[in-house]
Amino acid sequence: MCFSAEASFTAAAILLPAGGFAIRKAYQINRNLVPLATLPMLFGMQQLFEGLVWTGNALSSDAMVERYSLAYMFFSWLAWPIWVPFSTYFLEPCRRRHVYLLFAILGGMIGAMQYFPYFAHDSWLVTKFFPNAISYQGTVLFDFIMQREYTYAIYLFVIIVPLLTSSNRRAQVFGILISLVAATTYLFFQFAYISVFCFGGALMSLYIIYMIFSEPEPAQSAYAAC
C-alpha cells in the first residue's frame, strides 16, 4: 500500500533522526538555517501521529483516532502556515524580512481559526479511512463564508509563496517541489487531500536535509541578526 501505518512510521523513523542531525549541522554552519532545518523533524512528528491514527483505527479505538487526528491537524492547519514563512524570514536580508513576518502572522491567524474550533465542536473533525489513505473531513470555520477550495488556496498561498519569492535559491527549489506536490494531490487525491499533501511534503523535506548537508561550511558559524 502507498499510504498506511507502515508508510507513516517509516517516514517518521527516517525524518526524525535525520532532521535532528540537520538541525545540529545548521546550527554549526549557519544559524539562520536552523528554522528551515527543523521542518523535516516536524514532518516526522506529524507522520508519527498519522501512524498512530492508523493504529487507533486498527485497534477500533475511537478515542485514539480522535486524539491523534487532532495532533496531526495541529501540524496541518497551524504549524505549517506559521513555520514555513517564519523559516523563510531568517533566510532574507533585513530589508525584506518584514514581508515574511506578515506571512507568518497571516498563517497563524488562518490556522488558529481553522484548528481551535475543533475543541469546541467535537463533530467538526471527521476522520475517514480508505484502503490506502486517510481523509480528514468535517467542518472548518471558513466553510461558513467560502467554498473549501478557496480555503485550501489561501492556505497554500501562505505556505508556498514565501518559498518561491525567497532570495535563497534552494528555498525556491523547495517551494517548487511543494507546488508540484500540491498540484499532484489536487489532480489525483482530492478525496484525501490533507493526508496526501502532508505525506508528499514530508518526502520533499528530504531535500532540506540534502540542502543543509551540502551547504558550504564558513570559517565561523554564520548568523545574521537584524
What is the domain extent for residue 54? 9-213
Is 1 among the domain residues?
A: no
Q: SS3 string of 74-126?
A: HHHHHHHHHHHHHHHHCCCCHHHHHHHHHHHHHHHHHHHHHHCHHHHCHHHEE
C-alpha dihedral sign at 183, 9, 52, 212: negative
Is 131 among the domain residues?
A: yes
Is 37 among the domain residues?
A: yes
Spell out the per-residue pLDDT of the chain, length 226, in tens. Answer: 458 899 999 999 999 999 999 999 999 999 999 999 999 999 999 999 999 999 999 999 999 999 999 999 999 999 999 999 999 999 999 999 999 999 999 999 999 999 999 999 989 999 999 888 899 999 999 999 999 999 999 999 999 999 999 999 999 999 999 999 999 998 888 888 899 999 999 999 999 999 999 987 765 555 666 7
3-state SS, residue 222: strand
Is 130 among the domain residues?
A: yes
Residue whose cell numbers read 481523509: 135
Do residues 128 and 135 lie in contact, with contact meaning Cβ atoms separated by under 8 Å? yes
Q: Which of 37, 14, 194, 213 is nearest to 111 (CA)?
A: 194
Is 221 among the domain residues?
A: no
Number of helical H runs and strand E runs in the chain: 11, 2
CA triple 144-147-152, angle to 5 deg: 110
Number of domains the chain contains? 1
Is 200 among the domain residues?
A: yes
Q: Which of 127, 157, 11 is nearest to 61 (CA)?
A: 127
Q: Which of 14, 33, 45 is nearest to 171 (CA)?
A: 33
Q: What is the pLDDT of residues 110-143, one digit of tens each?
A: 999 999 999 999 899 999 998 888 999 999 999 9
Alpha-carbon torsion angle 206, 207, 211, 214, nearest 10: 80
Q: Which of 30, 160, 37, 163 is nearest to 88 (CA)?
A: 163
Is 219 among the domain residues?
A: no
Is 95 among the domain residues?
A: yes
The length of the chain in residues reads 226
